Amino acid sequence: MVSESLARAYDLTRTLATAVESGDWQLASDLVEERSPLIMALGRDQDEASLTTIRAIQEIDAAIMGRAHAAHAAISNDFSDAKQRIAAAGFYQSTGQLR
């Protein structure tokens, strides 16, 4: 039998996955903070139903991490591109002032 706290952690995990898919990173962060104590409170010995739920949470978490890494890479690329554009604009402006 799955405990209430584990069932709540599973529900939060599914909601977390939905938040990540929609790009709502603030909600995702809030859900992680709410879920963490529930996960951390799990004991070592779990019945088979609980282990199945824990494995499902782990699978969803792996997908979330993949999405988070992809989003991080995209943001890093955008930031790098923006820095290059700023540098180019600064160079253009300083070159124009030499006339």
Residues 46-87 pLDDT 10s: 999 999 999 999 999 999 999 999 999 999 999 999 999 999
pLDDT of residue 99: 59
What's the domain range around 80? 4-96
SS3 5: helix
Instruction: Count structural domains, the chain.
Output: 1
- Residue where the block lists tokens 């591109």: 81
Cβ pair 32, 16 in contact under 8 A: yes
pTM passes above 0.95: no
C-alpha–C-alpha distance, residues 12 and 31, integer Å: 6
